[in-house]
A and B are shown apart, each in its own frame.
Chain A
């Protein structure tokens, strides 16, 4: 599971996926290494069976408007955490579908914990880490999780400087 970072170049569209009973999807348009990405769309869907198909349809829709951009997917992988009684295995089935139906796509998996510093407030009273970027959507918790994974990918894999400067947690804050 997980593929190498191959042939990914600007401009690109990153589609974040937070698979689960309700799957969150966040689409980011990343025009260049020098500009802040735009949250180009987001939604949540409470149906696991068509998520992989939806992602492919989404890619097709995006490419009609951005034919010059590469499209890649950033997906939260499933961790069976110790101590969780009766965990929801839906993400496993969604990831199975993604692996099967999107074998030729650029799909990057990230562990849930990689996005944790954009969830937990660094200090008591500080807001959700995602709010620093201006991409927090009220009532869209799963789509927000998908956004967090895109941000982590931008920062950790692409070293996207505008994103880092915009709101990536620093030691001095």
Chain B
């Protein structure tokens, strides 16, 4: 049983007196005085006292509520409701042998008024004049380049299908984004060297092995490129997206039956759609570049470095691309004055020098692998995207992400 409650006033009236004298003066036991003095010293006396404005209710004998429903009724008649008050109540009673008597006690404390509903438009209006002045971005590097190539969306092989290729591509971009956040380049170049979709006009087996029809391949690849640019646009002041025609992208009537010029290519069509979508969005730092009409290659300006792009289906072996480039240089074709040439198509990383100390990079692919090539040669390659940083024609931090 709890000791009788002593209030702060009670304790103050006997302050300084020994417990025994204080107990006599207040008409309680010494242990009661000790208990409440202890509560006071712990600083919890206020919490144990009835709250300010609380209503004490007691009832004995006839009409005493004995059930929860009767308690509600009893309190309602006195203008007390759980909606407006915090209520504590208890039942008591004794049995004298001849009769049973009941008692009831309740404490009702008024609840604080409910907070006003937050007006979001008002809050927005109040910060309208707040001006956020972001820190000036300090660039640690000039240009970061990533070379997505040969997704071949729609293709299935040893490493899965479209879903897996998409996952690999997005994982590569996520890995690249981590590097970029650390190195903080001024410009990002996304150099897609073709074969964005698998298409149906390279081998007759594509009709049965592809997991997507052509319209879906195109729309899926478009969504993937848009997502990549959306993720990278926030990471640099300037983002350049460039792509070139390729053998899987070509508009064909059957295997090796080309129908149009170099721009009759699904990769080029997707790049044009991406440019349109970007122009309608809030992203204002992405530019899209494609080769000039009738050309299959191009050179883009990456800071102070010139980067050439070509798919690579112009030659049968990756080692031959240097010779191809030499011819392009002699004919003053689009890649003639590039410092670095990026090549796709071969699905396997190569890196070698050509001409006057220029570089040929052949990028790894994001496609699901090639069982045809593995059965033929036994070789498989690491999937991913090639990435490096460049400034003044030189490169650094080469990696497959």
Verify B118–A65 contact, CB threshold 8 A.
no
Interface centre among B119, B132, B138, B184 (most CB of A within 10 A): B132
Would you mind naming 20 contact pairs between A and B with Cβ atoms under 8 Å apart?
A30-B135, A31-B135, A40-B132, A40-B135, A41-B130, A45-B126, A47-B126, A50-B119, A53-B118, A53-B119, A53-B123, A54-B123, A54-B126, A54-B127, A57-B120, A58-B127, A61-B132, A67-B234, A97-B118, A101-B118
Query: In the assembly, what is the distance between CA of A103 and CA of B184, in Å?
Result: 32
Digit string of B166-195 for contact with A (CB within 8 Å is 1, else 0)?
Answer: 000000000000000100100000000000
CB distance from A49 to the nearest CB of B (A): 6
CB distance from B75 to the nearest CB of A (A): 28
Any B CB within 8 A of the CB of A37: yes
Complex interface: chain A residues within 8 A of B126 (CB): 45, 47, 50, 54, 57
Question: Taking CB as reference atom, which chain A residue is nearest B180?
Answer: A68
Query: In the assembly, what is the distance between CA of A12 and CA of B126, in Å?
Result: 24
Any A CB within 8 A of the CB of B137: yes
Question: Taking CB as reference atom, which chain B residue is nearest A31?
Answer: B135
Query: In the assembly, what is the distance between CA of A56 and CA of B124, in Å?
Result: 9
Any B CB within 8 A of the CB of A136: no
Query: In the assembly, what is the distance between CA of A52 and CA of B120, in Å?
Result: 10
B: residues with CB less than 8 A from A are 43, 115-116, 118-120, 122-124, 126-127, 130-138, 181, 184, 234-235
Verify A52–B134 contact, CB threshold 8 A.
no
Q: Could you say which of B115, B135, B234 contacts A29, with CB atoms under 8 Å apart?
A: B135
Question: Taking CB as reference atom, which chain B residue is nearest A42?
Answer: B130
Question: Taking CB as reference atom, which chain B residue is nearest A53?
Answer: B123
Any B CB within 8 A of the CB of A35: yes
CB distance from B9 to the nearest CB of A (A): 18
Complex interface: chain B residues within 8 A of A43 (CB): 127, 130
CB distance from A91 to the nearest CB of B (A): 15
Question: Taking CB as reference atom, which chain A residue is nearest B137?
Answer: A31
Query: In the assembly, what is the distance between CA of A142 and CA of B47, in Å?
Result: 31
Query: In the assembly, what is the distance between CA of A121 and CA of B131, in Å?
Result: 31
Verify B124–A41 contact, CB threshold 8 A.
no
CB distance from A14 to the nearest CB of B (A): 12
Verify A27–B132 contact, CB threshold 8 A.
yes
Q: Could you say which of B43, B122, B137, B138 contacts A50, with CB atoms under 8 Å apart?
A: B122
Query: In the assembly, what is the distance between CA of A68 and CA of B134, in Å?
Result: 12
Bin chain A's interface residue count: 20 to 34
Verify A66–B134 contact, CB threshold 8 A.
yes
Any B CB within 8 A of the CB of A93: yes
Any B CB within 8 A of the CB of A159: no
Shortest 3 CB-CB contacts between residues of A and residues of B: A53-B123, A38-B135, A68-B234
Query: In the assembly, what is the distance between CA of A68 and CA of B122, in Å?
Result: 27
Question: Taking CB as reference atom, which chain B residue is nearest A66?
Answer: B134
Query: In the assembly, what is the distance between CA of A52 and CA of B127, in Å?
Result: 12
Verify B132–A41 contact, CB threshold 8 A.
yes
Q: Could you say which of A31, A41, A82 contacts B138, with CB atoms under 8 Å apart?
A: A31
Verify A35–B135 contact, CB threshold 8 A.
yes
Digit string of A77-117 for contact with B (CB within 8 Å is 1, else 0)?
Answer: 00000100000000001000100010000000000000000
Complex interface: chain B residues within 8 A of A10 (CB): 181
Query: In the assembly, what is the distance between CA of A48 and CA of B321, in Å?
Result: 69
Verify A37–B135 contact, CB threshold 8 A.
yes
Interface centre among A10, A35, A68, A93 (most CB of B within 10 A): A68
